[in-house]
Every structure is written in C-alpha cells, then in structure tokens.
C-alpha cells in the first residue's frame, strides 16, 4: 500500500478531523520510513514540533481504531485494515437509467469536510488553481477566496499551501473556527492569539511578553513581534486566515484588525521584511463593517470567486467514484436538477450512490426532507435565515414563485452570499430544486427555534 492509499483510509477513519497540510506531510513521510528528525529538517520545523504533530495524529487514530497506534506500528495496522475492509455494496436498482455502483477500485472518501490533499476525487476548476499557485509565490501577495459554503474553499486553500510549501515557503493556517469566542471580544486578546498561533505553527518559541508594550498599543506590539521576532527566525511564509467571516460578527474588532491587515499588505511594497509574507483570506461572505476604501483588505490582491462545477466536471467526478454513467450525461440529469452544480452537494450524492446506500430514485425522494442526506446542511441554512424575517420573506416569495423574480440588490447580495440563489442579470431564482422544495415547506421559521444554537453553515 502506498502513502496515498493510506491517506484515503485515514480520511475514512477520521472523517471529521480535517488533517492539516503538515499532518498529511508528516503521515506520508512516516509511511515512507522517515524519522521525525528527517521530516523536521526537510520541512524547516523544530524536531519537537514534528514529534508533537505525529503524537496527536496517533492519538486520534488510536481512538478511531480502538487500539494503540504509534509511529512504529501505524503502517502495519493500516495495511491490515485496508486488506480486511469490505468493498462497498452495489446499487440496489441495477437499471440502465441509473448509475451503477463503484467499479473504479478506488477507496471511497467521506464527502464531509475538505477533499484530502492527495485525493483522486479533487476536481480542478481552471484557471483557478494555476492563478493561485502562481500568486502565492509572489513576494508580498494577497489572495482572497470568496464563495458560499460547500464550494470547496478549504480544499483549494490546502492545495495552494502545499504548492507554496513545495516551492520553499513555510505555511501557517489559522482557522478562526478554532478560536474561543472570547478571543474576538478584545483586540489585544485577538492579536496575542494570532501571534501565539503563528509562533506555534512556525516552530518558534512564543515570546509575546518580551515584545508587548502597553504604551505602544497592541497593534504596534503585534506588528513589531511579527516583523522583528518571527520573520527574523524563519523564511518566507504563507499565512492563511480561514473562515475569516467569523470576524464580521464582531464589528469593533473588524474596524481595528482589518485596516491593520491592509497596512501589513501595503508595507510589502516598501519594506523587504514584509515582502516575505503572503496572505490568503478565505471567507464565505464579505458582509462586514463598512471601512474606508483605503482601509479594506477586500479590494486588493487577487480575488478568486469559486465557480460551480460544469456538467462535464460532474460527469468526471461520477466516473472517479466508479459510477458507470458512460458518455451520456442524462443519467445524472435528475441529480443536477435537484442539487444544481454545487460541488459539495454533488460530492455527497455521488458518494452515497457509489456506496450503494441510496438509489437515484431514493435520493430524489428524500433529498429535500428531514430524513435526507442534506438534512444537516439544510437545517444550518434555515438557522442562518432565522434571525432575519425580511430575508425569510424575500426567499419564501422566491421559492413559491413560478419563475425568476426581480430582487432588491441588498437582499440578492445576502442570499447569494449564502449560496441560496442563482443570479441572471437582475433576475434571481433558487439555486437548485433542493432549496426550492425544502424552504417552500419550512419558511417562515420562528427565530426562537435556533436562539440557543451556534449557527455555522456547512
């Protein structure tokens, strides 16, 4: 078994864990017999940090498999697991009008979370990858990736960082989902969290108190810490801020941090030290506190808006799942009619069809219901709409209309940011039949139903 096959097994065993680029690198290098010291030297990390990355990964695997996993036995255990794994059941229908079950020989991957770095199921969307791979190597660059959830932002981000790493960049990913909510309540706490995490991922001992000066203020202290301390001990770095839109719920923090981020980007034009940084901002919507044009980081750098799949890309992905759809896209037309060309929704459907847990007819019948495979995703969208009666009313009118409707630009923008509509000029319609059927049933919704839930559209 090669490392890529082992990674596919790892993704099945840990579907909700979400391996980082570094964890995947450590796993593959261990699989190929490298020591932690060799991995640390090759990746420009401290030996102790690489050892800690491996230890935490073995802990997760141990819990998933119910037995002790370590660097020394992981290869034997996963190889044995791969030999004993049962093949997926064939599709029940077996009719010529349906895609047949998995015949590719590739292990199926969980459709939740980002597509793993070494996955055979990642579909490129030219020219996006080429543009971002080229830009991340440019000194002082900034890449902005904006798309609704389920469009593959984090999957693309991992590949950009891997490309940068392969060309000598150190990489850091800061997912704001992992920060405690209290971190966002004060600028000083947030900037200290930022610097501490940068230090940890770069393998540099945190020394915040040596550089933090109350008289200078937290913004200057943070700037000096990055410029004088961190960049003095590492090479060129790509820093990714994933789920950046979490900040938009904290207006005071936005007004302070976002202009600071813009100044760091602009400093790269004049100061060689700051040219060693590359920034990648990933967010689902840019509904944030209004800033003056010269203070915003959302009107500079390379802007990437991820498109949906084309029908040929869906056909390609279906074939990679081992579904015998042939050259005629008609076998996939019911799926496309139901979920459109949204990458995440398509990927989830193809997984269940290839696994044999659903036929196409069953999928069509249950998809927009509480018992369907999209129930969690739909509930989260409903939760996102629940605090906004005006948005609910607008969308309810749309999903019950006979055709496309003309919308207020602000409402259209907000619904488009959630991925709920498809725009054609000034006309809009529901993004897919899945949303039309579900929301025509469940809108309007009482906001109290979601008052105690943490809303996170996935």
Q: What is the pLDDT of residues 210-247, one digit of tens each?
A: 999 999 999 999 999 999 999 999 999 999 999 998 99
| Residue 424, CA distances (Å) to 340, 398, 405 in order | 15, 14, 10
Cβ count within 10 A of residue 279: 22
| pLDDT band of 87, cuts 50, 70, 90 | very low
- 268 pLDDT more than 60: yes
Count of all residues that appear for the chain in the document: 458
Cβ count within 10 A of residue 388: 14
Tell me the per-residue pLDDT of 408-453, one tens digit each, with 9 for 90 and over: 888 888 898 899 999 888 899 999 999 999 999 999 988 777 765 5
Tokens standing for residue 46: 């401290």
Mean pLDDT of 123-142: 96
Query: Which residue in the block uniquely carries the two structure tokens 């994933």?
Result: 242
Structural element, H or E, at residue 175:
strand 170-175
The answer to whether residues 398 and 428 touch, using CB atoms and an 8 Å cutoff, is yes
| Residue 224, CA distances (Å) to 230, 254, 287 in order | 9, 20, 30
Mean pLDDT of 276-296: 80
At residue 133, the pLDDT reads: 96
What percentage of the chain carries pLDDT values higher than 70?
89
The CA distance from 311 to 177, in Å, is 32
- 455 pLDDT more than 50: no
Tokens standing for residue 315: 């056909």
Q: Which domains does the chain have, with CATH numbers?
A: 3-84 (1.10.10), 128-305 (3.40.50.300), 375-450 (1.10.10)
The CA distance from 252 to 268, in Å, is 26
Helix, coil or strand: residue 298: helix
Residue 42 half-sphere exposure, CB side, CA atoms within 13 Å?
14
CA dihedral sign, ordered 11, 381, 283, 199: negative
Residue 407's contacts (CB-CB under 8 Å, 6 or more residues apart) are 394, 398, 415, 421, 426, 428
Q: Is 132 exposed, middle or buried (0-12, 13-18, 19+ CB in 10 A)?
A: buried
Mean pLDDT of 128-151: 95
The CA distance from 69 to 9, in Å, is 14
| pLDDT band of 288, cuts 50, 70, 90 | low
Tell me the per-residue pLDDT of 41-64, one tens digit each, with 9 for 90 and over: 776 666 777 887 888 888 888 877
Cα angle 245-286-156, degrees, rounded to a multiple of 5: 65
Tokens standing for residue 269: 């034009």
Mean pLDDT of 291-309: 87
Cβ count within 10 A of residue 184: 20
Tokens standing for residue 401: 């209309």
Question: Which DSSP letter does residue 432 get?
Answer: S
At residue 286, the pLDDT reads: 57
Helix locations, 172-323, DSSP H: 187-202, 208-211, 218-224, 251-267, 311-320
């Amino acid at each position: 078994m090669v490392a890529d096959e082992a990674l596919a097994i790892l993704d099945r065993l840990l579907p909700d864990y979400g391996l980082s680029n570094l964890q995947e690198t450590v796993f593959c290098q261990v699989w190929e017999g490298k020591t932690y010291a060799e991995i640390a030297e090759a990746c420009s990390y401290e030996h102790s940090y690489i050892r800690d990355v491996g230890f935490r990964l073995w802990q997760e695997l141990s819990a998933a498999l119910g037995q002790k996993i370590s660097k020394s036995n992981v290869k034997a255990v996963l190889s044995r697991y791969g030999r004993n794994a049962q093949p997926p059941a064939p599709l029940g229908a077996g009719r010529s009008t349906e895609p047949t079950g998995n015949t590719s020989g590739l292990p199926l991957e969980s459709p939740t979370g980002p597509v793993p770095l070494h996955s055979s199921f990642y579909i490129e969307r030219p020219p996006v990858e080429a543009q971002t791979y080229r830009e991340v190597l440019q000194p002082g660059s900034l890449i902005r990736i904006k798309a609704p959830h389920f469009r593959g932002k984090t999957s693309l981000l991992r590949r950009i960082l891997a490309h940068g790493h392969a060309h000598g960049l150190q990489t850091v990913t800061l997912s704001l989902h992992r920060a405690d909510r209290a971190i966002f309540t004060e600028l000083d706490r947030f900037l200290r969290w930022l610097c501490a995490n940068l230090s940890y991922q770069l393998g540099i001992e945190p020394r915040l108190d040596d550089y933090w000066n109350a008289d200078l203020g937290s913004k200057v202290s943070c700037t000096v810490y990055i410029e004088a301390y961190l960049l003095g001990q590492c090479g060129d770095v790509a820093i990714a801020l994933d789920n950046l839109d979490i900040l938009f719920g904290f207006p005071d923090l936005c007004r302070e941090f976002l202009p600071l981020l813009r100044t760091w980007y602009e400093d790269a034009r004049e100061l060689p030290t700051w040219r060693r940084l590359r920034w990648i901002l990933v967010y689902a919507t840019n509904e944030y506190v209004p800033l003056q044009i010269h203070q915003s980081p959302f009107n500079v750098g390379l802007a990437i808006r991820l498109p949906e799949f084309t029908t040929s890309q869906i056909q390609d992905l279906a074939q990679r799942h081992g579904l015998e759809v042939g050259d005629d896209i008609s076998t996939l037309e019911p799926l496309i009619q139901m979920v459109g060309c949204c990458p995440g929704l398509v990927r989830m459907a193809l997984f269940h069809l290839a696994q044999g847990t659903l036929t196409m007819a069953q999928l069509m019948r249950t998809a927009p219901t509480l018992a369907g495979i999209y129930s969690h995703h739909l509930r989260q969208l409903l939760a996102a709409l629940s605090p906004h009666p005006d948005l609910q009313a607008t969308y309810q009118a749309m999903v019950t209309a006979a055709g496309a409707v003309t919308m207020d630009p602000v409402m259209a923008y907000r619904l488009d940011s959630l991925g709920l509509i498809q725009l054609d000029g000034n006309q809009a319609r529901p993004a897919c039949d899945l949303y039309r059927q579900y929301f025509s049933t469940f809108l309007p919704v009482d906001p109290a139903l979601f008052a105690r839930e943490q809303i996170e559209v996935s």
